[in-house]
Amino acid sequence: RPHHPYPDTFPKEGVLTSMGVSDSMVPLAGEAAPSPAFGTHPARLRDRLRRPRAPMSPLRIPRRIRYGFLGPAVLLLLAFIVYPSVYSIWLSLHGANGHSFVGLANFGKLFSDPATLTALRNNIIWVVTAPTLACVLGLVFAVMAERIKLATAFKIVIFTPMAISFLAAGVIFELVYQADPHQGVANAVLVGVHDTFAPSSKYPGAHPRVDGTFGASGGSFTTTQAFAPGSTAQLPLVGYAVTSLPANAAQAAPAAAKPGEITGTVWLDLVYGGGGTPGHLDHGKKGMSGINVQAVEGTQVVGSATTTADGTFAISGLSPGQYRLELPAGNFAQPYNGVSWLGPSLVTPAIIAAYLWIWSGFAMVLIAAGLSGVPRELQESARVDGASEWQIFRKVTVPLLAPVLLTVLVTLVINVLKVFDLVFVIAPGSTLPNANVLAVEMWSVSFGGANDQGLASAIGVFLYVLVLPALYFNVRRLRRERSGK
């Protein structure tokens, strides 16, 4: 017989004989194949026996059992992923009632409706700013965690907001952004810092009676009557609560005339509980201490004085002449109450800040894991070469972390495109249209009263299309990592 190139794969004679194939049934080189035995062509059987078999798994699970385990997952996938997606595409091509076919009209409306365009603009702002800032903060926190002693405690504090739902976080930040400094933490901090460097006025809202005694200009009040040194002036004010006067406020007293000085009294022309005559220093009327009174000649201030506890003042050092008395606006300016965080201009940045509070911890954990895998010898080599810490961070650490940073960035972009809870909970009804995003607009159009299922489905399909590039990038990256390329 001719020599076989793979003798180990050719079955032995006993094996062929046991299977009903004798040695004479196997054709030699140049011989014709004998007639089949037992309905099997011996040459074909010989080829099958020569063909190397794939190794069999030691765990042999019947196909029906494998399909039995796979079946429920496939059914759930079809019921909750495939069917809603196909049905949403079908609805996006129909009208508000979901029955009349309108083609691509809903997509045309999506790019022409002002509310939807505002939501699209805000989504662009979210995608550009939120993921980038979250990555930057996560990188900063990860580097800080490597350089402080209580690194574990620090990471727990930063990561804890991830355990809070978006709904609960929205409620928290709705309280933080309250306009009243006595309720909102953000404005309480701003007011405290502001008043430290620029104290607020003592009598906000106080003003003279509208009787022609004073003229108003820019918040300041100037007497219509001129006074000469040695004369006295009576300056009654209203528009301020008696109960809000300083604790050291005393009974208002008439000022005594002094040569070369303009004296007078500034008092609150109200009596607690009622009574008294307007413009008269009656019993129970309190002096207003700490008010700045200026003597003005033309447009120039030539002297000033501050009232005492009983409201009296004396402006000295005046030359003979006629002067008008002015109460500057600083005496009555409204107190600084902070910023309208949830107003039309700041509502979107305020909500993004809440998002960063939650997701910076997520970015920190992933970046810290990547940072632990950076070869330390490269950083030490850079230090030996004389590189500063900033140069090492910028030219060694960050380039090595680029794959991790890109992964975090893409993941956050996908998350940001479907943000809903924070915007819906934090933004008040008056400024919700200014903070609107596509997910909130989709809800408003479908369930918020408009009942336009077609347009809402078109917005959903458009959101799905926006997510696809980021999703494709993530899948491609995972495949490259698994293949080791």
Question: Is-contact 252 215, C-beta < 8 A?
Answer: no
Rounded Cα gap, residues 348 and 423, in angstroms: 8
Q: How high is the pLDDT of residue 393?
A: 87
Phi-psi region of 484 (alpha: psi -120 to 50; beta: other; left: phi over 0): left
Rounded Cα gap, residues 376 and 397, in angstroms: 10
Q: Which amino acid is at 390?
A: W
Phi-psi region of 406 (alpha: psi -120 to 50; beta: other; left: phi over 0): alpha
237 strand-pairing partners? 268
Least confident of 3-7, 92-96, 150-154, 311-315: 3-7
Q: How high is the pLDDT of residue 87?
A: 92
pLDDT digits 0-9 by tens, 158-217: 999 998 888 999 999 999 999 999 899 999 999 989 888 877 788 998 999 888 888 888
Q: How high is the pLDDT of residue 484?
A: 64
Query: Tokens 């009903």 appear where?
Result: 20
Q: How high is the pLDDT of residue 56?
A: 53
Structure tokens at 246: 């300083």
Please give the DSSP secondary-structure letter assigned to residue 213. Answer: S
Nearest alpha-carbon partner for 417 in 382, 452, 464: 464
Helix, strand, or coil here: 333? coil
* Of 208-212, 345-349, 461-465, highest mean pLDDT: 345-349
Structure tokens at 12: 């032995």
Structure tokens at 189: 């901090």
Between these two residues, 218 and 409, which has the higher pLDDT value? 409
Q: How high is the pLDDT of residue 20?
A: 47
Give the end-to-end CA distance of the chain in Å, rounded to a whole number. 49
Characterize the bridge pairing of strands 262-268 and 323-327: unpaired
Nearest alpha-carbon partner for 230 in 259, 254, 202: 259
Q: How high is the pLDDT of residue 44?
A: 62
pLDDT band at 77 (very low <50, low <70, confident <90, very high): very high
Q: Which residues contact 301 (CB under 8 A, 6 or more apart)?
A: 294, 295, 326
Helix, strand, or coil here: 199? coil
Q: Which amino acid is at 169?
A: A
pLDDT digits 0-9 by tens, 387-438: 888 888 888 888 889 889 998 999 999 999 989 999 999 999 889 999 999 9
The helix (run of H) or strand (run of E) holding residue 167 is helix 166-176
Strand order across the beta sheet in which 262-268 lies:
232-237, 262-268, 312-315
Structure tokens at 231: 């004369």
Helix, strand, or coil here: 152? helix
Please give the DSSP secondary-structure letter assigned to residue 94. Answer: B
pLDDT digits 0-9 by tens, 253-303: 999 999 999 999 999 999 988 888 888 898 899 999 999 999 999 889 999
Rounded Cα gap, residues 370 and 364, in angstroms: 10
Q: Which residues contact 265 (CB under 8 A, 6 or more apart)?
A: 232, 233, 234, 235, 252, 253, 254, 255, 281, 287, 307, 310, 311, 312, 313
Q: How high is the pLDDT of residue 286?
A: 93
C-alpha distances in Å from residue 96, one per residue of 91, 102, 440, 459, 470 = 9, 10, 18, 13, 30
Q: How high is the pLDDT of residue 314?
A: 94
Nearest alpha-carbon partner for 312 in 243, 355, 354, 265: 265
Average pLDDT over residues 367-375: 88
pLDDT band at 451 (very low <50, low <70, confident <90, very high): confident
Least confident of 17-26, 80-89, 176-185: 17-26
Q: How high is the pLDDT of residue 196?
A: 82
Characterize the bridge pairing of strands 262-268 and 232-237: parallel
CA angle 78, 84, 89 (to 5 degrees): 125
CA angle 59, 61, 65 (to 5 degrees): 155
pLDDT band at 43 (very low <50, low <70, confident <90, very high): low
* Alpha helix (H) residue ranges in 59-104: 63-77, 83-92
Report the percent of the chain where pLDDT is more than 90: 44
Q: How high is the pLDDT of residue 59?
A: 61
pLDDT digits 0-9 by tens, 88-146: 999 989 888 778 888 888 889 888 889 999 999 999 999 999 999 999 999 999 999 98
Query: Tokens 């900033």 appear where?
Result: 390
Please give the DSSP secondary-structure letter assigned to residue 255. Answer: P
Burial class (CB in 10 A: 0-12, 13-18, 19+), 419: buried
Average pLDDT over residues 442-465: 87
pLDDT band at 19 (very low <50, low <70, confident <90, very high): very low
Phi-psi region of 468 (alpha: psi -120 to 50; beta: other; left: phi over 0): alpha
Torsion of the alpha carbons at 369, 466, 476 and 378, rounded to the nearest 10: -30
Q: How high is the pLDDT of residue 293?
A: 94
Mean pLDDT of the chain: 85
Q: How high is the pLDDT of residue 38?
A: 44
C-alpha distances in Å from residue 254, one per residue of 35, 214, 310, 325 = 141, 19, 9, 17
